[in-house]
Structure formats: structure tokens, C-alpha cells
Amino acid sequence: MTAGKFRFGVVAAARQGAAQWRETARRAEDLGYSTLLSPDSLDAPTPTAALAVAATATSELRVGSFVLASPLRTPRAAAWEAHSLSVLTDRRFELGIGTGIPAMREAAAELGLPYGTGKERLAQVADTISHVRRLDGEEHTPVMVAAGGPRARRLAGERADIVTLADGVLTSRADFAEHAAEVRAAAGEREVELAMNIFVVGDQVPPQVRSFIAVDADTLRAHESLTIVPADPSALADELERRREEYGISYVSVNGAFIEAFAPAVARLRGH
């Protein structure tokens, strides 16, 4: 499996109104991003509703969930949402799904759903993919799996179109390379797009990002974290090309706080 051409996504703030979603979508498309992505949180509109609004403001921009947490919906319900948005956006939707972060335990309880074991939550991911494929028929909704453990990486390699390596922010580069290799081994001859998410561009960690990753920029750099990149456009582009060469990463998303700062790399590398 060889790395493909670069494409880029931006993860928008979940707590936006309709006008903000449309504005963000238009800006992302103007800057050359491939996809507008929405997190999954009970404190914000459900990703499929927000992305449906965003898609009306653009003509080519793809939209995607980043990512639906499997404990928050039954597999059939998640597939129903995904297939519906795929149809309503003329097949511009990409379903991102994963087992969810620990905070989703409380969210699942609020919805009256079981959080389940890791094995059970991963089985829900697999079942959701099966339901989506059945609903799609001859069409094909691209599925991204956020894979943070060995079983998830194996499932993602075997079933997903896109695999985002959901390692911890301080994961070593050697471990990351090993995890990417696990996905490729599981994929075999299948073409799978490898992806990763960037939290910080430059030297400043915005408060909303800091509250999520719980470390500062100095700590990220000290660990050579792959979740931070330099702000200088040339250095940024060189680093992304290095990552594609070393790990096979060709699809890169960035936190929405850095949509403008990351744009020069998008303009330079997209489609190459």
C-alpha cells in the first residue's frame, strides 16, 4: 500500500450556529481544504445535522464526522444518519466513527445507552460499517475509523476506507510508525488512506485545545509530538512531506483554530 496524494481537512468548533457553519464551510472550500469535519458532543448539534447545514453553502467541499462515538448510537441508528447525509449531500459525506474517549461514558448514560467494554464498542463500529454498506447498495459512503488500539487498527485496516491513527499526543514517532505498519498489514492489498489530526500550529496552544490535550507546546515539542507542526509554511510543508514518506500519512486534518495558519501548506501540497 503506497501513500496517496495529499488532501486536507479542518475540524470545526462544534458549538457553532447555522450561519457560522456555512461561513466556515465556505472559507474551508476557498482555502482548498477537502473536508469540513465535526466532532461528536452532546453539548453541540449532532454532527450530521451541523454538516448538512454546512454542505448547503458549498459545491465541492466534503463533510465528515470526526468522529461519531459508537456508544452514543445503536449501529443501525448511526448507519441511518450516515446514509441519510450521504444521500442529501450528493455523496459528499464521509462517516468517521470510533469507540469514543472516556468522557463518552457519561454521555452514553445521559442517552440511556450502555457504554460497554472496549470490545463491545469496537463491535458496534464494525456493525455500523456493515449497516452502512447494506443501506448504500451500489453506492459507497467512505468510512473513516479512528483507531487507537491494536484491535481497532486491525479492524480499520480490514474494513475502513480511511484510518486516522488516534494515538495519544505524546506517542513516540517509533510507536506511531509501528501502528501505521499494523494498519497496512491488516489492509493487505486494499487501498486505505492513512490520516492524522494536528492540534497545534506554531507555538501557542489555544485554551480549548489545551483543555482537550492537557499539555503545552513545550511539552509537545520535547516529545517530538506529531500533533504539533511549525508555523513557517516551508517548514510545515517539509514536515508533512516527511510524514508521508515515513508513515504513509496523506490525509491531514487540523484544528479549526488554525484554519488560516495551515492554509499555505494546503495550497502548496494539495493534490501532490
Reply yes or no on whether the pLDDT at 147 is more than 90: yes
**Does some domain include residue 92?**
yes
Query: Confidence class of residue 14 from pLDDT cuts 50, 70 and 90?
Result: confident
pLDDT digits 0-9 by tens, 22-59: 999 999 999 999 999 999 999 999 999 999 999 999 99
> Based on C-alpha coordinates, what's the Rg of the chain?
17
Tell me, what's the pLDDT at 2? Answer: 64
Q: What's the rounded mean pLDDT across residues 81-88?
A: 97
> Is 259 a domain residue?
yes
CA angle, 91 then 95 then 100, to 5°: 170
Per the domain annotation, does 66 fall within a domain? yes
> What CATH number has the domain bearing residue 132?
3.20.20.30
Report if residue 242 sits inside a domain: yes
Segments forming the whole domain that contains residue 50? 7-198+232-269
Task: Provide the number of structural domains found in the chain.
Answer: 1
Residues 142-154 as b or e (16 or more Cβ within 10 Å = b): bbbbbbbeeebbb
Is 71 part of any domain?
Answer: yes
Per-residue model confidence as pLDDT tens digits over 150-174: 999 999 999 999 999 999 999 999 9
Q: What was the pLDDT predicted at 237?
A: 97
The answer to the question of residue 24 being in a domain is: yes
* 165 within domain boundaries: yes
Give the Cα-Cα-Cα angle 95, 164, 179 (nearest 5 degrees). 145
Q: Is there a domain that residue 168 lies in?
A: yes
